[in-house]
Amino acid sequence: MREREAILSKIFNHDGVAKRSAPLAQLMLETKKIVMQVVHEGRSLSALLDKLNETERPAIQSLAYATLRNWNHAQALSSEYVSKKPSKELDALLTVAAMLIKNQGRAQNQYTVPTIVNEAVKAAGMSPKTKHGQGLINAVLRKVATAVQNDGAPKAQFGLPYPDWWLKRIQVAYPDQWESICRCQQTPPPLTLRVNQMMNTRAEYGAKLESSGIAYRTISEIAGVPLESALIIDAPLPVSQLPEFMQGAVSVQDAGAQLAPKLLSPQKAERLLDACAAPGGKTAHLLETISAEPAELIALEIDAERVKKIGNTLTRLQLINSYTQVIVGDVSQQDWWDGHLFDKILLDVPCSASGIVRRHPDIVFLRRSEDIARLVETQRAILENTWAMLKNGGTLLYLTCSIFPEEGEEQIARFVKDHSNALRLEAPGQLLPSEYHDGFFYGLLKKHQP
């Protein structure tokens, strides 16, 4: 779905009726608080949204995502009409409101410009930290509206405020593609599903979508790797409206993340490890696609709270069984391991997440240049540790959701160079963000006697 058709769409029902779970002023105020914590305190957007109740979350989440994706554009608009930088609180509220004005009339945004301005003034009056700025809010937003209407608004190259170090990295790595990568990451991602093959084939589930009046497209392959379960919903809608979602018929998963089972190709009676497994999507996908039971599948996760998400995922998808263990443990250590070697290892390592900015725009605000070297060292330690747990003749699939070469191609090339018993097999390597999927890296290694 194109950006102009998608921004703010989740604030409204699929039939175009506004989900006014709270007055716009209240929604803007709560969005301002969340955006401030991301931008100024380095807090995770997902963690902040998880604290909201189910009634208020959809609208605030959509406003927060749209504000972060359009941060540069909205900042350029509002700052044009203030003589000096306002307080952080006023600045954040102005940015949320300027984003709404910039995108007024798109998708099903039913708020008129006067309503947006008036509600922003009300929002300012609801907080002692911004009440003094009601006049400023009113004056600035009216000028912003006039500039947008006359197409005289200042423009930034990208809505997301990519740090200079980030841009330099991708400019060097992808001199002909870096701009298209950044433009792609400005847009909301598609609603991509993975059909649970234990319940339905893709064609069978497609028929259920059609019966419900939901239009979709299938994705048959990515980078030459066939996909049997992926489809995209043409007009995103709440998952509760998808046929049999709560019964486990489908999961939401980017198509680029659905390559792992086909590349790893688990077989009957093999011992499998899914390292860094939370929230459980890849563990579930492995179980959905295995034609015969493995001897054992261990889903490992260092965070005990996130381990609960793995259990919730497997429960909803009806994949709880006797041969799958969910374990709390650090994949860079061996204190959780029983000493029995694995036939196949799926290694979805911690990374910069630079490939999934469409789904997590806060990453651009949170990531620091020095993080990359630290992450590369962590990835290297994990690779070394898990390689010792792999049988001779076994395979390890290394996966990141990064587009930085240090975390992908350079990491695997160095590992193969340093290990004479590591044979690199055919795999997609670097996937760059596109209309149909986010950015991922896949490296497949086989352990053999040199």
Structure tokens at 388: 């010792």
Is residue 141 within 8 A of residue 101, CB to CB? The reply is yes
Which residues are CB-contacts of 53 (< 8 A; sequence separation ≥ 6)? none
Is residue 276 within 8 A of residue 346, CB to CB? The reply is no
**Antiparallel, parallel or unpaired: β 216-218 and 324-328:** unpaired
Q: Which residues have a catalytic role annotated?
A: 401
Backbone angles phi, psi at 218, to 5 degrees: -95, 155
Is residue 228 within 8 A of residue 197, CB to CB? The reply is yes
Is residue 323 within 8 A of residue 272, CB to CB? The reply is no
Cα separations in angstroms, 199 against 194, 220, 320, 360: 12, 19, 14, 30
Query: Whose CA is closest to 276, among 256, 260, 262, 292?
Result: 260
Is residue 271 within 8 A of residue 296, CB to CB? The reply is yes
Is residue 129 within 8 A of residue 89, CB to CB? The reply is yes
Q: Could you check whether the bond before residue 279 is cis, i.e. omega within 30 degrees of 0?
A: yes
Cα separations in angstroms, 365 against 39, 216, 353, 368: 6, 33, 12, 8
